[in-house]
Amino acid sequence: NAGVTQTPKFQVLKTGQSMTLQCAQDMNHEYMSWYRQDPGMGLRLIHYSVGAGITDQGEVPNGYNVSRSTTEDFPLRLLSAAPSQTSVYFCASSYSHRESYEQYFGPGTRLTVT
């Protein structure tokens, strides 16, 4: 199993550009989520999905869109990049949405918006 994969690993964008961060998992996990990590802080939830076709907002959803057309893939779209979106982005998945299941994290995407 590859686990949770993310592409790209690094990205530099200009303000106003759009892009999609890719996330895929091969563990047939029901729950997938996107977090961002800023310096000196823990991870904060952007969007999550409890299954194909079902998505919802997390703590910091503004400026981001998601969709989940398959169990495996959960892309994150930045609509119009802003310097405040400079961060490290982690995709995570877990077997179930229930509280007893740990989330497995991808390696992260380091995004810089200039």
Interaction site with another protein (CB under 8 A): 31, 33, 35, 40-45, 48, 50, 56, 58-59, 88, 90, 92, 97-105, 107-108, 110
Dihedral through CA 33, CA 7, CA 60, CA 102, nearest 10?
A: 30
Distance of CA 105 to the CA centre of its chain: 10
The one-letter amino acid code at 49 reads S
**CB-wise, 52 or 88, nearer to another protein?**
88
CB of 10 to another protein, least distance (A): 11
**Spatial contact of 109 and 13, defined as CB atoms under 8 Å apart:** no
CB of 35 to another protein, least distance (A): 8
**CB-wise, 22 or 104, nearer to another protein?**
104
